[in-house]
Structure formats: structure tokens, C-alpha cells
Chains A and B, each alone.
Chain A
Amino acid sequence: MKTPEERQTAWIDDALSPEERAAFEAGQPDLSALQAEKVAAQQLRSLLQKTFVPATLASPDFFNHGIMEAIAKEEAATAKPSNAGRGLPWFLQIGRLAWAGVALMAVAALLTANMIPFGESGPSFDAQAQVEEMKVAEPGGVSAVAFYATSSDLTVLWIDGMEYVPASHALN
């Protein structure tokens, strides 16, 4: 406590030791004025405590839910890029390559069997393929299209937008 303001505040709040208090009071030319300050501070405290009564938090469970949900979302958002980036485990990277390779080979096979004409009776893709789009509930916008060529009895699964293969589906 250095400044007069600090010492007076401590005196008003009864935060001085007996020695400090005695020294402070001894240095005051008008102790009654100081007593009046103390009364004023007490009045103010009383008014503030009457005005600022503790507010009640409505729907406390929902309050918690919002916090925990926000934390979970942020953690999911920060975790995803690291899995898809350079820190990806080696087996997931291999799995990713394998998936891409399988998809490319399947597309090549499909093109060979259906898109390249083999004479007049060769089946056309449009006529003999069934196309179905599967919607995947993945925030990253992954979509998948399955082609089934009846002539060659071949199914192709084309996955678009997949940045990584879930660990449960990784090739080991």
C-alpha cells in the first residue's frame, strides 16, 4: 500500500493490520470525515447488493449442452485436417492408394467392356448400365456413384471427394 488512495481504501474495507490502521489514523487531520467516508462506502455496498441480486441461469442443462457441443465440433474440425494431411498413418495412406487404384482399374475395365464398340451388336453404356447415386452423410461432401454393366456383369463404385479412408475400412 503506497498511495493515500490505496491506504484509505484498505482502511474503509478494514483491510489494514492494527499497526497500519493506527498509523493511518494518526496521520489523519479529521478522523470524523474519514468515518463519514466509511459510512458512505457501506451505504453504497448495501445499495449495490440490493440492486445486483444474483441472476439465475435459465435452462442450465441446455447451457452445458451448448458448451460441450461446441467443444466437440471444434475438436472434430481441428482433428480432421490432421488426419487428411501429412500426419496420416502409413497404412491409411496405402489404403488410400489402393482404393484409388481399384477405382481406376474398374473404370478402365468398364470403358473397355462398354464404351468401346465391338461390332454392331455391342452394347452401349447408356442402354445397359444402371446408374445409382448414393448419398453419403459425410460433412466433407463425399459422394459415390455405382455403375452396373449388365453385359460384362461388372460393378464399378466411384467415390468422389473422399480424403481419407476410415480406420475401420483401411487395408492392413
Chain B
Amino acid sequence: MFASHPLVNPDLEENELVARSQRGDHAAFNELVIRYRHKAYAMIYNMVRNEQDAWDLAQEGFIRAWKSLPRFKGDSAFFTWLYRIMTNAAIDWMRKKQVAGFKEFDDRVAELEADPTSVLVPKAVEAPEKQMRNREIGERIQAAINQLSPEHRAVILLKEVEQLQYNEIAESVGCSIGTVMSRLFYARKKLQVQLKDLYENT
């Protein structure tokens, strides 16, 4: 359909595609976009929850990646590096957007709001009985996520939804592993406080 971009062998190794892209090969970069566009889009969408914004941010992220490729040294996996660009784009967007209900969240505030010694024991979550109930749960969780700072939101989603390892999250977000773990701790506490009644009523 869009035949203006010549094709490259889709079986090429990622390293080869990256190397070619670094030399200015558009077709190789097009293939890299094909490989990672769905994951990148899904990750950004989970953070911004808007199809058009996620589309635009993912495109901008790939364009940024193209411009930054000469500086990519291969110290980390290409996708981890790409995730960092995408995550930064999404975090920047969330900061600018100041989504409804958003308030600044840092670890000091979190420590005050979420007592690390508190114990939240949710009652067993049974299988959802009705679609409406599921939707309500989804809205509650989304609202709770929106209360997190962009950095905490990114970390909890990368860990629990994208299922990245600590080091991959650290690489993506651009912080230490310790900071990732600390943010995870407080983000979980915060969400558990927000969703306490949800646990108890389900």
C-alpha cells in the first residue's frame, strides 16, 4: 500500500538493522518500526489512555529514535533504548497534560500518605460476575492510576503490565534500580490505599 519505502529482508538480525539504520538506511529503520510499533504503541497507550495521543507520541518517539540513532552505542538492547525514548515522551506528555485529578507525587509525599507498615489485606477477588462490574473496576483502577505521578505511573505499568525486569525499567525510565524499587513500593501502597474498598467489595 505504501510502496515508497523499499523493503529489506525481514529476517535480518536486529543488530544489522540497527547498524544499517545508523548509516541512514530508511528501509532498515522502517523494518525496525514494523517490529516494535505495536509494543511501543501499547505501552504508550497504557500511560496516556488516548488513541490519538498514543499514536502521535509513538510516531514522535520513533522519529526521535531515528535522530538519536547515531548516538546509540549498543550498550543495552535496542528495544530497551527505544522504550526509554517512548517512556520519556509519554512522561513529558503527562506532565504537560496535567490530567484531571493529577497532583504532584514524590517519594516524600508517598511516605506520609502510605504508611509502609500498614497492612492491606484484600479479600479474595472473585472472578468478575458481570461486564458492568468489570467496567466499574476498570474505571476505578484507571482513576487510581491517574493519581500517580507520571514517573510512578510509568514504573508500575512497566513492571506489572509490560512485565519488565527492574534493570529494564531503570534503563527505560533513566534511573537507578533502587529508585525503581522504591517507586514501585510507594506506587503499590498508593494504589492499594486508593483501591481498598474495591478489594473489600469484590
> Contact residues of A with B, CB < 8 Å?
1-6, 8-10, 12-13, 15, 33, 36-37, 39-41, 43-52, 54-58, 60-68, 70-72, 74
Q: Which residues of chain B have C-beta atoms less than 8 A from A45's C-beta?
A: 160
Residues 80-104 of chain B: 1 if any A CB is under 8 Å from the residue's CB, otherwise 0? Answer: 0000000000000000000000000
Evaluate contact between A67 and B125: CB separation under 8 angstroms.
no
Q: Quick check: is B132 within 8 A (CB to CB) of the other chain?
A: no
Chain B: residues with Cβ within 8 Å of the partner, total of 52
Which residues between 10 and 59 of chain B lie within 8 Å of chain A, taking CB atoms?
Answer: 26, 29-30, 33-34, 37-38, 41-42, 45-46, 51, 54-55, 58-59
Q: Which residues of chain A have C-beta atoms less than 8 A from B195's C-beta?
A: 44, 47
| Shortest Cβ distance from residue A28 to the other chain B in the assembled complex, whole angstroms | 11
Q: Which residue of A lies closest to B159 (CB)?
A: A13
- Which secondary structure characterizes the binding site on chain A? helix
Cross-interface CB contact of A55 among B4, B45, B166, cutoff 8 Å: B45
Sample of 8 more A-B contacts, CB < 8 Å, known A9-B184, A60-B37 = A5-B181, A8-B185, A36-B119, A36-B120, A37-B119, A40-B121, A51-B138, A68-B5
Q: Which residues of chain B have C-beta atoms less than 8 A from A74's C-beta?
A: 63
Q: Which residues of chain B have C-beta atoms less than 8 A from A43's C-beta?
A: 122, 125, 199
Evaluate contact between B38 and A60: CB separation under 8 angstroms.
yes
Q: Which residue of A lies closest to B121 (CB)?
A: A36
